[in-house]
């Protein structure tokens, strides 16, 4: 199926449908490799999959990003103690804003980074500072502290929420 992706994308472009990745300046073209093959790279395959299927099958988008600047992968959070300051990044799976007894809005964000899923709690004071990002960005950087609610349950209490900005690393 993936061998047919370039043809399908060309037909889609001719039909006038918008590119999902146009804002990134990515052109989904298969270029010949140094060895002469025309097999798409892993990055190109990921973009094809996202464009056509709205799924990431071959890799996770964060696999192509440089997140070395103090970011912690979600799978590693369980080894850290409560109260530890962390910085995580991920794709928003869902926002939730349940009613509260006090009437102050609390936003719960479920993030995933390809290694796991994290629950992030954003209280009203942080929402005032970072509200322009909430509900508008599909990829977030969160700085906060680990809170434990049981032996296997943890969440991140956000101190800061930003739209994720990464520098791509070629693969």
Quote the distance between the C-alpha of residue 27 and its chain's center: 21
The pTM of the full predicted model, rounded to 2 decimals, is 0.67
pLDDT at 24: 41
pLDDT at 64: 66
Q: Which of 3-17, 74-88, 130-144 has the lowest mean pLDDT?
A: 3-17
When the pLDDT of each residue in the chain is averaged and rounded to a whole number, the result is: 79
pLDDT at 31: 53
| pLDDT, tens digit, 9 for 90 and up, residues 52-93 | 777 777 777 777 666 667 889 999 999 999 999 999 999 899
Spatial distance between the Cα atoms of 35 and 45, rounded to a whole number of angstroms: 18
Phi and psi (nearest 5°) for 159?
Answer: -105, -25
> Which residues are 92's β-sheet partners?
111
Across 8-164, the runs of DSSP E, i.e. the strands, are: 65-66, 85-96, 107-112, 117-122, 139-148, 154-163
Closest CA to 144 of 161, 128, 124, 163: 161
Domains of the chain, earliest start first:
2-59 (no CATH), 65-168 (2.40.50.140)
| pLDDT, tens digit, 9 for 90 and up, residues 20-63 | 444 443 444 445 556 666 667 777 777 777 777 777 777 777 77
Q: Which two tokens stand for residue 82?
A: 């409560």
Closest CA to 83 of 143, 156, 142, 146: 146
Q: What is the mean pLDDT of residues 100-115?
A: 90
Q: Which of 54-58, 104-108, 117-121 has the lowest mean pLDDT?
A: 54-58
Q: Which of 20-24, 95-99, 166-170 has the lowest mean pLDDT?
A: 20-24
């Amino acid at each position: 199926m993936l061998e047919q992706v370039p043809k399908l994308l060309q037909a889609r472009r001719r039909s006038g449908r918008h590119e999902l990745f146009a804002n990134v300046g990515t052109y989904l073209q298969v270029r010949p490799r140094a060895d002469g093959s025309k097999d798409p790279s892993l990055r190109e395959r990921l973009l094809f999959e996202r464009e056509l299927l709205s799924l990431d099958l071959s890799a996770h988008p964060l696999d192509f990003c440089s997140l070395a600047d103090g970011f912690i992968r979600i799978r590693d959070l369980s080894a850290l103690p409560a109260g530890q300051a962390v910085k995580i990044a991920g794709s928003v799976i869902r926002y939730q804003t349940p009613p509260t007894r006090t009437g102050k809005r609390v936003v719960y964000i479920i993030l995933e980074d390809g290694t796991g899923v994290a629950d992030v709690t954003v209280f009203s004071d942080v929402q005032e500072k970072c509200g322009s990002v909430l509900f508008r960005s599909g990829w977030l950087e969160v700085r906060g502290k680990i809170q434990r609610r049981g032996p296997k349950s943890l969440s991140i209490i956000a101190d800061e929420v930003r739209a994720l900005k990464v520098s791509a690393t070629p693969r």
